[in-house]
Amino acid sequence: MHKELLVVKRQKAKDLYDQGYSINKIADKLVSNWSSVKKWIEMDDVTVDNRGWEKGNLRKYGQEVKDRVIEIRKRLRKEQSYFFGPQVIRANYRKLYPDEKVPTIYFIAKTLREEGMTTGKDNKRTKDGSEYMNYPQRTLDKLGKVVEGIDFVGPRYTEDQSEGVHFLARKYIRPYQYGLTDRIEGQTADEALKVLIEDWKDHPLPEALRLDNDPSFGLYSRYDRHIGRFLKVILNLGITPIYSARSQPWNNGNTEGYNSVFARKFWERLSFSDEEEIDAEIKKFNLEYEKYNDLVGNNIDPEDIEDETLPKDFTLTEKLQNELKDDLVDPAIYWLRIVRNGTEKAKKKDIGTIDILGEEIEVPKPYVNQFTLNKLQLKDDKLAVMVEDDDGKLETIKERELEVENVDFDG
């Protein structure tokens, strides 16, 4: 086979493997044999001609590099670090040997496998199934320069306690990669606000907040067209809330991914006898995650951005929790919603609907099973139902009036 064509074929095999295809399926797609595909996906450099290479020699990195990788891994485990995977090892290697070429993630992972030092599962990436539903990713990427996601975690159960333990996870999405988890007394608005207010005295106040539809996050009350205290506080702080579609946790994927790290590296790995032990250990976990992101997170230099934080003496007042300030600039709430077929209240079958604050909003039938991004401008009582087109532009497919009945601007 011509060398250029072979290189393309090798790269295609590696790409398909990264997407989650098995070696057998790749072999079928590329009309190749299983053993060739297996060699291709293990190659560090697909342009290398392997024929005639002396068997048993390392192709790209010498034994010294391999020994260094093993030593770094052993040191991280000896320090009882929560984070010791290939990315962390590579970042440590770069720090320890700044003048030398850094081994690839693949080489490090392969070295760990050969030494029996891997502990996690082989998590293969799967193709994003939301593409055909027009998930508005490009629009969401533009909403806010400083964006944070939050999520309740739990309840989790210790060996000696029947009552569950609850946590609040916070994950900055951009431009930073900070991650924090704290134990809370329960999944309530009061507990969430208590943690966040203290966070934002030391960490950047987000411009946008990604969150799910938990009732404590202020989206629902016993009445339609009403919002809760949590949401009023968020809006009064100048933060734009963006709610995920129901039963679609991946819409807040950064935070959900961080929750997975918390589960694997912290909760499932350790045993606790009481809540004091949990609190002590979780402080260590938060520090370890900060160190991890300093190594691999490519965090922005704080001097490059002027971040806003809350005053150290900031406290929540009754007014901040019950009235929206009149000087807010274009206060708005965003919802991600999937258009469902038919309506519940009117029992229509030839229309699509979404639910916003207990209101059924009718949407043209062609948009059924598609994502919509919905923006409610609170001062104008205007709801815009929007979809993202193939070029990443938003198209408004419906506008209507929607008044939040328990919102009063304080004038």
Task: Check whether residue 102 and residue 74 sit in a common domain.
Answer: yes
- Does the residue 343 lie in any domain? yes
- Does the residue 312 lie in any domain? yes
pTM to 2 decimals?
A: 0.65
For residue 324, give the DSSP letter.
B
Task: Check whether residue 258 and residue 384 sit in a common domain.
Answer: yes
Task: Check whether residue 371 and residue 339 sit in a common domain.
Answer: yes
- Does the residue 377 lie in any domain? yes
Task: Check whether residue 315 and residue 298 sit in a common domain.
Answer: yes
Task: Check whether residue 200 and residue 213 sit in a common domain.
Answer: yes
Task: Check whether residue 81 and residue 1 sit in a common domain.
Answer: no
Q: What is the model's pLDDT at position 292? A: 66
- Does the residue 126 lie in any domain? no
Q: Please tell me the number of Cα atoms within 13 Å of 302 on its side-chain side.
A: 8
Q: Which residues contact 38 (CB under 8 A, 6 or more apart)?
A: 23
Q: What is the model's pLDDT at position 78? A: 59
Task: Check whether residue 51 and residue 176 sit in a common domain.
Answer: no
**Total domains in the fold of the chain:** 3
- Does the residue 121 lie in any domain? no
Task: Check whether residue 319 and residue 229 sit in a common domain.
Answer: yes
Q: Report residues of the chain scoring pLDDT below 50.
A: 1, 52-57, 121-129, 299, 411
Q: What is the model's pLDDT at position 129? A: 44
Q: Which residues contact 111 (CB under 8 A, 6 or more apart)?
A: 66, 69, 70
Task: Check whether residue 199 and residue 284 sit in a common domain.
Answer: yes
Task: Check whether residue 93 and residue 209 sit in a common domain.
Answer: no
The residue out of 42, 60, 78 marking a domain boundary is 60
- Does the residue 235 lie in any domain? yes
- Does the residue 119 lie in any domain? no
Task: Check whether residue 205 and residue 246 sit in a common domain.
Answer: yes
Q: What is the model's pLDDT at position 122? A: 45
Distance from CA of residue 295 to its chain's centroid? 19
* Residue range of the domain that includes 5: 1-60
Q: What is the model's pLDDT at position 175? A: 81
- Does the residue 233 lie in any domain? yes
Please answer whether residues 102 and 63 qualify as being in contact, where contact means their C-beta atoms are separated by less than 8 angstroms.
Answer: no
Q: Which two tokens stand for residue 374?
A: 């919905």
Whether cis (ω within 30° of 0) applies to the bond prior to 366 is no
C-alpha R_g of the chain:
25
Q: Please tell me the number of Cα atoms within 13 Å of 167 on its side-chain side.
A: 22
The residue out of 83, 114, 145 marking a domain boundary is 114
Q: Which two tokens stand for residue 50?
A: 């392997």
Q: What is the model's pLDDT at position 69? A: 86
Q: What is the model's pLDDT at position 131? A: 57
Please answer whether residues 354 and 363 qualify as being in contact, where contact means their C-beta atoms are separated by less than 8 angstroms.
Answer: yes
Q: What is the model's pLDDT at position 53? A: 46
The residue out of 43, 60, 77 marking a domain boundary is 60
Q: Please tell me the number of Cα atoms within 13 Å of 352 on its side-chain side.
A: 18
Task: Check whether residue 67 and residue 160 sit in a common domain.
Answer: no
Q: What is the model's pLDDT at position 52? A: 47
